[in-house]
Structures are given as C-alpha cells and as structure tokens.
Amino acid sequence: MSCHRFIHEKPHRPFFGSLILFCVIYVSLSCSTITEAQAWMGKVVEKDTEKPIEGVVIVRSWHEIIALPPHPYSGMLAVKETLTDKNGRFMILAKFYIPVPILRQVEERSTAIYKPGYKFLNLYKKRYTVEMEKIPTMYETRKRELDSAEDNSYFHSDETRLLYRIIDRERDFIEVLKSSEKPRPKTRPAIPRRVHPRKRESGSEFSSGIAVMKGEGTRNKEPKNPGNGIKKPSYLLIGTHIEFTQSLAEIAARDIGTPESLVDLKDPDAAMVLIYDLSDEKPALRYLAVSALRKIKDPVSLPHLIKAATSDDHPSVRLEAVRAIGEMGDPAAVPALIAALRDKNLEVSCEAATALGKFDDPREIYAVEPLIEDLHAKNPNIRSKAEYALLQIGVPAVDLLIKALRDKDGNVRKSAALALGKIGDPRAVDPLIELLNSNDEDSSWAAAMALSNFKEKRAAIALVNAMDFSRGYLRQRLGNFLCRIGPVAAEPMTAKLHDKDSRVRIDALNYFICVNDKRRNAFLIDALRDENSWIREYAAGKIAALKDPEFTDALISAWNDKDSEVRNRAASALALIGPAATGKLLATLGDRDPYFRWRAAVCLGKIRDPEAVDSLLVLLNDEVSAVKWSAVYALGEIGDHRAIEPLIAMLGDSDAGIRKQAAQALVQITEQQMFGQDKLKWLKWWEQNKESFMEGKQP
C-alpha cells in the first residue's frame, strides 16, 4: 500500500510546485516596471540652410502587445517628449523593458517630430542629424501639416503637454491665416479690348409711359415713344468683344465712368433716364445705372430694381440691385429679397439675407423653411449661406432652428446651434443644453459655442458640468467658452479648482484670471502649491504676467519647488514685479539656505534697484562661492559706483569664475575694457578716477 501511494501521489507535488513557480515568474515579468536606460541624442537642422532649429518637439512612444484570448491586447505603454535647444540639439531618454516571449511584446513606435512652419516628420530609424523642410505660410499647407501631427499624436495630453501646447498655438494661428487668405479669382488670358465712343442722339426724347417702364420692352431696342425732351449725355461704351477679367464695378468705372457721369443725379427725371439703361445689353452700363439709382432712392425705380435683382443675368448687377432695394426700406421689396435668397451666387444670396434682416416683416417667416432645407446640403458653401441668412433674419427663425437641433443630420444640428447662439433668443438655452449633452462631438461643440453667448446661469452651469464628460476639440475649447460667458460662471467654477483632473483645474484657474475675479490672486497662490508641477508652472507664468507685489512671498517660497521650471518661472516673475519686491528679496539675502541667497541676489540684479547695493556688498563675503558670484553679477547689473572698489578686491578671489565675473562687472560699471582681470591696473586706474566717479562725472 505504501508502495502504491509512493508511485501515484509523489509526482503530483513537483508538478504543482512548478506550476506555481511559473505563475509567479510570469506575473512578475508581465508587471515589470519600466526603467530609463540609454538616451537618444541628436540635432535638428533646416534642410536647405542647415541652420539649427530651436523649439522642435520630439516624441518617442512605446507600444505593448499582450497575447490574451480571444484577441490580443494592444495599448500605449509609455511616452517621452522633449524640445530642441537654441543649437537645435536634443536628448531624450529611452525605455528598458523585460519582454515575455510569445505572451508579451513591447516595441518602440516611430518618433514624431514637429514644429509649426515645418513639415511634420515620422522617423522610423533614429539618426543624429534630422533635417526638417520649411513650408510656406499658407493656410492649406500649414493645416495639412497640423492635421498630420495631430493624426499621429494619439497620446494623452498629460503625457505630451509640450506637443499639445504647440499644436494649440498653431491651430489659433491657422484660424487667423484662414480668415486673411481669400481665394484668388480665376484669371483668363487677356483679349484685346475695343473701346469706341458712342453718343446717343441728343434729341432723343421719351415719355414716362414708355414700353420699358411698362415691362414690355426688350434689351437693345430704342423706346417707341420718345418725349419730354430729356437729353442723354455722351459717354464711352465697352466694345462687344470683351472678357470680364476684373470685377464689373472696376470695368464700369474705368471705361464708362462713375454713376454721376451718366446723368445729373439731382435732376428730377434722372431716375427715368437710368431706368432706361437697365435694359441695355452691356452689363457694365446696367451696373452703373443700378448704382446710380441706389444713390437716388427714387420710389419709381423700385419695381425695376426688383426685376434687376431677380432676373438680371449678371451677378454683379443683381448684387447691386439687392443692395439698392434693401437700402430703400420699402416693404414691397420683401418678396423679392426672399426670392433672392435662392440666388445661385453666394454673395447675392448673403446680401439678400442682410437686407431682409433690416425689415420687421411677418413675411420673413416664409424664407426660413427653405433655408432650413439648405442646411441639409452637401455643399458647405450652401450651408454657410443658409446659416448666415437665418442669422440675419433673426427671431422669426428661432422656432424652426430649435426644431432643427433634433435633426438626424449632424451638419444641420451644428449650423442651427451656431445660428441660435448668435441670435441670442433665451428660448434656445434649454434645447442647446440638451444638445450639449449629446454623444455627437461636433454638435456638442456647436452647442457649447452657442451657449457661451448667453450670459445666463443655467447656460454657465451646463458648460461647467460639460468639463466632466467632454472630450477632443470640445474639451480643448471649453475653457475659452467659459471665459466668454463671463462672471456668471464663477460660483460653479469654484469647485473645479479642486477637481481630480489637472486639466480641469487649469481651466478653472484660467477662468478666474480672464474674468478678473477678485479672488484671482488667492487662487493663483494656492495653485503654486498644487501637487501637479504643470499647474504650478502655469500659475507662476500667469503671476509673472500680472506683476502684482502681493505674490512676492509665494514666489519666494516657490524657489523650494522640486521642479526646476517652476523655480525658474517664480524667479522670473519676481524680477518682473520690479522694485516693489526689493524689500522681501533683501530679507531673503540673509536666509540660511544658500540656494535662496543665490536666487535673491540674481533677482535683485535683474530688478537693478540701487537700494540693494549695500546688502549685496555684504554678500561678497559669503562662504558659498555661488552666492558670491551672484552678488558680483547683481552689482554689475545695477551699475552703482559704490561697488567698484569691492569688485576690484574680488579680482584676487581664489575662484576663477568669480574673478572673471568681477572683471565683467567692472567693465559694465566703468566702461573701461583694457585692464581685464589685472587687479593692480584696476587699482591704479581707480586711484586716478575715484573722485570723478564720486562726483558723478564718469571719465
């Protein structure tokens, strides 16, 4: 029996032990931490000139693949980024990992390299010198490269804050480029122009009841019933063979003249003469006639201008006619303006919408429904035209626009939301809040943009709550929307200052700065003690821009920050505060910590307040060489003659760096560059010129 147990039971023990050991090794290797190892160093230069490029962001990333049934798991494991210095050089650490064969693999992806104004790069092989190609400052080109950078930057913004900061700035720049770059007109080959004088019969006369006035005449035909003795002036007409390569207005002004040159606009019968020209075969003459009638504003011309606005075959004539009937302000023109909204020319239809918005007429409602239908168009120009027209019509369009917020088409929802935001009717707030909470990112962004135009508390609360669930472009712009809505969002935003998400805290802090809340300074001081170094750095930068002495103590305390960038920004902020911070800095010169004494001396040198000279002279005897160096530097920056003799004494210091800085400081104060670090020559020179310096007469 014992033999049977030995044979059948003993082998199970090493089997289970091996299984447990294997599991322990697998788990330890799978959960192994990532440690920093070898670095990649290199240089980024411009391709054509080979000049170094500063401020290029370089992002390395590592991808993890774990074999898990039924499908392998794949995800981002680590990301590191850096910026090139003024010499174009960079150093970015690599990552060391312990792979588990078959079960777990970690690989480095291509390196993303980007700087606005240059072509985006994806490097699959690392090299020491990276060449970047400069691109022209054009909207399409820069937008393409920015899209390429964003499409390849699939990292979380907390891990790539440098890259996303550059991308945000470039996006704003592109918006400016987009608004300033207008599409150029298509040019056609020049065709010889034949201009010849033509004078209408000076004796031609016609009555006010001519066929043209009744709408019975056609172009190129003389009136049947001349009368009234009105004389037509002489002018130049354009030849029959002409290619319109410029605007019709330019051609008319150059080759025919101005509207005033056609007739005497003060003549009571001038409108009759100009109405006659509305049926001329030359578009340039018809344009001038409409332009002149626009100045005269004679009611008798309204039906003829309406006809020109709706049926003339040249868009420039229709455009000028729409402007004319809009400025006349006669309600009889409303149906024609509604019809002109459907004009094929975008500029004509937009001008019709602008003119229609000047009327307070119930018939405007008939134009709204067709415009809502235009929001479904695939052509973005048609959608933009409809959105603009609805905005001009205003309140009569609100009900149908609110209904359009629930449309199946995302473009319709977006356009309707933007139009409602610009119209500003309070009835739209609740439907826009509903759209803001939808799953469609574009629609939510449009709703947030619209709500930022309403200075209402319910809109503010909705935007603040959106910070908890928004993603992508909406999340990036939500802070700007809250700034636009103003102080009404202050109460709900206070709680966001302590949010778990660092991005939310940044947006909340920036909100109180942009609305100039009275609690702004206290919130910035609290932010200097935030657990996130990015927020501390951000707060120090904002404090530097404010230059308020109230921040002096908090900035000095920030010198003890563990992040070097925070320390540097705090020091720069103190220097920008100026002489108002001198008192606190002088007290800091006696601090036990030599680092604080060094920082204080450097800041005093940047402030250049002569009141600090005596305290800095005492610091020349400090036991720490770095502190003495900073005192020498500060005295040279201040440039007070009281420091000359002590600085000459520092030329005998045992530290070569202090001697060099002392010589440089003496040159700054005295403007004498021939003595170098020779202490004896400086002493001899000082004995000869001491009195003149004391009297303020610098040699």
The string of DSSP codes covering 548-584 is: -GGGHHHHHHGGG-SSHHHHHHHHHHHHHHGGGGHHH
Residue 421 has phi, psi (to 5 degrees) of -65, -35
Strand partners, 111: 123
Confidence of residue 620 (pLDDT cuts 50, 70, 90): very high
- Unique residue bearing structure tokens 């920015």: 146
- Mark out the alpha helices in 424-532 (DSSP H runs): 429-436, 441-451, 457-465, 472-485, 490-494, 502-514, 520-527
Tell me if 581 sits within 8 A of 607, measured CB to CB: yes
Tell me if 324 sits within 8 A of 290, measured CB to CB: yes
- Unique residue bearing structure tokens 């450097």: 602
Measured from the Cβ of residue 585, the count of other Cβ atoms closer than 10 Å reads 25
In this structure, what DSSP letter does residue 1 have? Answer: -
Residue 173: strand, helix, or coil: helix
Question: Mind giving me the DSSP string for 283-338?
Answer: HHHHHHHHHHHHHH--GGGHHHHHHHHHH-SSHHHHHHHHHHHHHHT-GGGHHHHH
Residue 190 has phi, psi (to 5 degrees) of -65, 135
Per-residue pLDDT tens digits for 304-314 = 888 888 888 88
Question: How far is 434 from 413, CA to CA, in rounded Å?
Answer: 12
Which of residues 337 and 540 earns the better pLDDT score? 540
Q: What percent of the chain has pLDDT over 70?
A: 74
Tell me if 322 sits within 8 A of 289, measured CB to CB: no
Strand partners, 107: 63
Per-residue pLDDT tens digits for 208-267 = 332 233 333 333 333 333 333 333 332 222 222 223 334 666 666 666 667 666 666 667
pLDDT at 201 over 50: no
> Residue 378 has which token pair?
């695939």
Q: Number of helices (H) and strands (E), helices first, in the chain? A: 33, 10
Q: Which range, of 210-214, 511-515, 657-661, averages the lowest pLDDT?
A: 210-214
Cis peptide before 70 (omega within 30 of 0): yes
Q: Mean pLDDT over all residues of the chain?
A: 76
Q: What is the pTM of this model?
A: 0.51
Cα-Cα end-to-end distance for the chain: 116
> Residue 455 has which token pair?
């200075």
Average the pLDDT over 38-61 and give the result. 86
Strand partners, 132: 46
SS3 content of the chain, % helix, strand, coil (to 5): 60, 10, 30
pLDDT at 625 over 50: yes
> Residue 107 has which token pair?
């690989």
| Length of the chain, in residues | 699
pLDDT at 366: 66
> Residue 468 has which token pair?
């908890």
pLDDT at 499: 85
Question: How far is 432 from 444, CA to CA, in rounded Å?
Answer: 9
